[in-house]
């Protein structure tokens, strides 16, 4: 049986070659924990879900990180979510749920982001041939 640190690391390293859109590149992964700490996970998720036009997101890098978080929260061994869901459904779930669930999801998301930020690539890494 794996412990939570093993599960977090395994889920995070799967995204080591993921390109996170936006001016910051992989740096967006490092900004989200601060957003969650300062404003709460609901506000940070709402920022990530802000629409741009009819079929896009104003902050696509943030949205992509939240998609990773949602996938982790629904993964085997974590199961704080029954299934993977859209960002909008995630926000709805948190907004209508119990405050203890919100606290648990926030805490697990922050722990997971500790691993994600270590594995995320910066755009500069691509220029120097560090992409696989």
Return the structure tokens found at 57: 């997101």
What is the pTM for the complete model shown?
A: 0.89
Q: Are 45 and 91 in contact (CB under 8 A)?
A: yes
pLDDT tens for each residue of 25-76? 668 999 999 999 999 999 999 999 999 987 789 999 999 999 999 999 999 9
For the chain, give the mean pLDDT.
90
Structural domain boundaries in the chain? 4-120
Q: Could you tell me the CATH superfamily of domain 4-120?
A: AF1862-like domain (1.10.520.30)
- Portion of the chain with pLDDT greater than 70, in percent: 89
Q: Which of 8, 116, 101, 106 is nearest to 61 (CA)?
A: 116
Other beta carbons within 10 Å of 132: 6
Looking up tokens 């119990």, which residue turns up? 98
pLDDT at 88 over 90: yes
| CB proximity list for 13: less than 8 A, separation 6 or greater | 115, 119
- Portion of the chain with pLDDT greater than 90, in percent: 75
Q: What is the pLDDT of residue 129?
A: 45
Q: How confident is the model at residue 24 (pLDDT cuts 50, 70, 90)?
A: low
Q: How confident is the model at residue 14 (pLDDT cuts 50, 70, 90)?
A: very high
């Amino acid at each position: 049986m794996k412990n939570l640190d093993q599960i977090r690391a395994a889920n995070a390293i799967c995204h080591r070659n993921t390109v996170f859109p936006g001016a910051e590149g992989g740096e967006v992964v490092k900004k989200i924990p601060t957003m969650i700490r300062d404003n709460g996970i609901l506000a940070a998720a709402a920022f990530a879900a802000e629409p741009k036009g009819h079929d896009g997101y104003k902050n696509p890098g943030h949205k992509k990180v939240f998609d990773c978080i949602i996938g982790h929260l629904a993964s085997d061994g974590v199961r704080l979510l029954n299934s993977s869901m859209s960002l909008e459904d995630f926000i709805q779930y948190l907004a209508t749920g119990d405050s203890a669930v919100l606290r648990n999801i926030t805490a697990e998301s922050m722990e997971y982001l500790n691993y994600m930020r270590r594995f995320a690539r910066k755009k500069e890494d691509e220029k120097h041939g560090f992409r696989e």
